[in-house]
Structure 1
Amino acid sequence: MGYEGSDVYNNDVFFERYMKRRHRKESPNACMEEPVFIELLGDITGKRIVDLGCGDAMFGKQLLADGCTSYVGVEGSHKMVEKACHVLQDYLGTVHLSSIEDYLFPSESYDIVVSRMALHYIEDLRKVFEKIHHTLVDGGSFVFSVMHPIITSSFKSYEQSGRRQDWIVDDYFWSGKRVEVWMEQEVVKYHRTMENYFSLLQECGFTIEQLREPMPQKEWFEDIEEYNRRMRIPLMVVFRCRK
C-alpha cells in the first residue's frame, strides 16, 4: 500500500537515513533545487512567509536570517516537527503539526507561500491551491518545487540497489497515484503532467511568472560522474506564481 503523506518520516529508520541523505553535500535538493528556488523567491525582507511541508525547518532558519518578518512552518510528521522546533529555538519562527490539507489557512495573511518538494504527496491539489490563493495577500507570491513529471512517471524502472542509471517514462498521461520504492520503503506520491500543473494553477487564480527545471552546475559537484549523471534528466521543477 505504501506510506501516505508525511507518515514515512515517522519511521525511525527511514527518518535517520533521510536526514543523512538530505544534508549530504551533493544532495540534489541542496545543489540543484535550492539555488534556483532562492533565486525565484527574490527579496524576502519584511515578508510574512508560510512554508508548507517544512521538514526540519532549516530553510525557515535561513529565511529568518535573510530578513523575513515572520515564518510559519507546516509539517505533518511529528518527528520532523520535533527537529524543526529545535532548529528554530533561537529564532522567531513557529511550526504547526498538521498535514498541508488540514492546515487552517488564514485569509490574506501571508506575503509569500513556499513549499519545497512536498506537494507531490498531495492527492487533491486543487483544494490546496485554492487555500493557498485564499491565504495570500493581493499580489502575494507562491513559489514551490515538486518532483519533475518525468521522474514521477518513471518509478517502474527503479532498482533498489546502486545508483539509478536509466529512467523509463511510462503512463505519462495517466495522472494520479504512484508508488515509489524509496530507501527500502514504499511511498505514495502523485504524478501530474506539466500541463496539469499549469492548468490547475491558472484555474485557481494564479499567474505563472516563471518555471525552472534546475540544472546541475559543475562547480557544485566533486564527483564528475555524479555531475554527468545528473545532467541526463530533470529531477524537479520550480514554479513562481502570483495572486
Structure 2
Amino acid sequence: MKQNKYDDPDFFQRYSQMPRSVDGLHAAGEWSVFRSLLPVLADKNVLDLGCGFGWHCRYAREQGARYVVGVDLSANMLARARSTTNDPAIEYRQTAIEDIDFAPGSFDVVISSLALHYVEQLETVYRKVYDCLTPGGAFVFSAEHPVFTAIATQDWYYDAAGNRLHWPVDHYQAEGIRQTHFLDNAVVKYHRTLATHINALVAAGFRITGAAEPKPSDEVLAAYPEMKDEVRRPIFLLLAAVKPGSK
C-alpha cells in the first residue's frame, strides 16, 4: 500500500503546524543523535527518502554535499520543499519510496527520516538502497520505534484522573499493518520488530555500524516542554549501516 496521506488537505494543514514542520531540524527531538550517525557529507551525492519539506536535503548541501536528490510521494510536501529551496544542486522527485529506481552506485549516502514505517515492502527498499549506494556508502535512517508501533492506539495508559501511568506494549511479535490515528486522522503504518529491521539490513548486504533510541535533548525539552514524557519510552529507532567495500 502506497499511502499519500500528506496530500489530504486537513492532514497536511495539521502537519504543517507541528514544531518540526515550523522550526525544522532543531525542533526534532531526535535530530542531534541522527546527525551524529551521519558520515561526512562534503563532496557526496546524497539521496533522501521521504524528504518531506526538504530540511535534510538543505542540511546536506550546507555540509558541502555535491548533489542531493529528495524523493517523496506527496505533491504538497514537494511543493513546500521547492518553495523553500533555492539551490540547483538539490533535485526533488515525486515518487514512492518503494518505486525508486536509481542506477547502481548513484549515491554515497542515503538518508531517511521517519518515513519507513509507512512502507509495506521494507526488504525491497533496503535492497534498492544497497544497490544504489557506492561501495563504502552509508545508509542512515530513523523510523518509529517498535515499542511505539506495536499497539495501534499509540497512546499512554491513563488513570481515572487522566494522568499518564505507562506506555503499553502488546502484540509486539505480530508484525504488519496498524490502523492508527495521527493528527486526528486515520493513518496506516507498519509495525516491525527490531530484529526484523536488523536482519533485513544484513540480508540486503549491509554492515550495521550504529543504533540509537534517542530521547529529546535538554535543549529541545527546554524549548518544547510538552515533550517531557518522551523520555519515558523510546519513540524513535535510528540505524546506521554501510555497504562493504571501497571506491
- What 5-or-longer segments of structure 1 have no aligned partner? none
- Measured against aligned partners, the alpha-carbon deviations of 1:37-84 in whole angstroms (never above 9, x if no partner) come to 111003211110000000011221111111100000010001111111
Using the size of structure 2 for normalisation, the TM-score is: 0.88
Alignment partner of 1:222: what SS? helix
Moved more, 61-70 or 144-153: 61-70
Name the CA distance, whole Å, in 1 between partners of 2:119 and 2:33. Answer: 23
Aligned partner of 1:171 in structure 2 is: 171
| Matching of residue 198 in structure 1 with residue 198 in structure 2 | yes
Query: Counterpart of 1:127?
Result: 124
Shift in CA distance, 42/107, structure 1 to aligned 2, threshold 3 Å: closer
Distance 1:164 1:102 in 2: 40
1:182 aligned onto 2:182 = yes
- Once the two structures are overlaid, the 10-residue window that deviates more, 142-151 or 27-36, is 27-36
1:57 aligns with 2:54: yes
CA drift at 1:219: 2.7
Partner of 1:56, secondary structure, is coil
Matching residue's letter, 2:94: L
Does the 8 Å contact 1:45/1:69 carry over to 2? yes
Change in CA separation of 1:99 and 1:31 when aligned onto 2, cut-off 3 Å: closer
| Cα root mean square deviation, aligned | 2.2
Q: State the alpha-carbon separation in 2 of the partners of residues 213 and 157 from structure 1.
A: 17
Separation in 2, partners of 1:115, 1:164: 31
- Alignment partners' CA distance in 1, 2:225 and 2:145: 22
8 A contact 1:45–1:68 mirrored in 2: yes
Q: Is the 8 A contact 1:158 1:164 kept in 2?
A: no
Structure 2 alignment gaps of length 5 or more: 157-161
| Residue in 2 that maps onto 1:109 | 106
Percent of aligned pairs sharing the same letter: 33
The offset of 1:167, in angstroms, is 2.2
Q: Report how many residues are paired.
A: 237
The offset of 1:184, in angstroms, is: 1.4
